[in-house]
Amino acid sequence: MDEFLVKLQKLKSGIFSRMKLLFLLDVVAIFSIFYSLFIVVNLEYFLNKTTFYIPFQVNFIPLALALFIGAGIAFLLHRKDRKINLYLLIEKKYSELKEKLRTAYDNRDESNIILDALKSEVSGGLDKVSSAHILTTGNLISRLVITVIFLSGTVIIAQNPGTYAIPVQTIEDISNTITGNGEKGGNETMDMAGRPEDFDKAGEDGGGNIKGKPKIATIEGKNIDLAIFPGYESGYELKDVSQTQNQFIKSSAFPVDILGSNVSDGGYSFLMKKTETEKQLINKYAVERSKI
pLDDT at residue 218 is higher than 90: no
- For residue 257, pLDDT over 70 is answered with no
pTM of structure: 0.55
Share of the chain above pLDDT 70, in %: 68
**Confidence at residue 44, expressed as pLDDT on a 0 to 100 scale:** 83
Average pLDDT over residues 154-161: 90
DSSP line for 6-58? HHHHHHHHHHHHHHHHHHHHHHHHHHHHHHHHHHHTTHHHHHHH--S--SS-G
| pLDDT value of position 249 | 58
DSSP state, residue 183: T
Confidence of residue 259 (pLDDT cuts 50, 70, 90): very low
Check whether 264 has a pLDDT greater than 80: no
DSSP 8-state class, residue 197: G
Q: Which residues lie below 8 Å from residue 89, measured CB to CB, with a gap of 6+?
A: 15, 134
Asked whether the predicted pLDDT for residue 118 surpasses 70, the reply is yes
The model's confidence at residue 153, banded by pLDDT at 50, 70 and 90, is very high
Do 215 and 203 contact (CB within 8 A), yes or no?
yes
Give me the residue spans of the domains in the chain. 3-179, 258-290
Whether 155 has a pLDDT exceeding 90, the answer reads: yes
Q: What is the pLDDT of residues 11-61, one digit of tens each?
A: 888 888 888 999 999 999 999 999 999 999 888 888 877 777 777 787 888
CA distance 204 to 282: 60
Mean pLDDT on 273-291: 81
pLDDT digits (tens, 9 = 90+) for 175-200: 788 877 655 544 444 444 445 445 45
**C-alpha distances in Å from residue 234, one per residue of 227, 228, 229, 237, 239:** 19, 16, 13, 9, 15
Please tell me the predicted confidence (pLDDT) of residue 248.
52
What's the confidence (pLDDT) of residue 258? 47
Average pLDDT value over all residues in the chain: 75
Sheet strands (E) in the chain:
216-219, 222-225
User: Based on C-alpha coordinates, what's the Rg of the chain?
Assistant: 51
How is residue 258 annotated by DSSP?
A: G
Distance CA 161, CA 63 (A): 14
Per-residue pLDDT for 123 more than 50? yes
Per the model's pLDDT, the better-predicted residue between 4 and 248 turns out to be: 4
pLDDT at 70: 94
Measured CA to CA, the distance from residue 72 to residue 82 in angstroms comes to 17
Mean of the pLDDT values across residues 266-291? 77
The pLDDT assigned to 163 comes to: 87
Torsion of CA 272, 273, 279, 285, to 10 degrees: -90
pLDDT band of residue 132 (cuts 50, 70, 90) is confident
- Chain segment 64-107, per-residue pLDDT in tens: 999 999 999 999 998 888 778 888 888 888 888 888 888 888 88
pLDDT at residue 157 greater than cutoff 70: yes
pLDDT of res. 66: 93
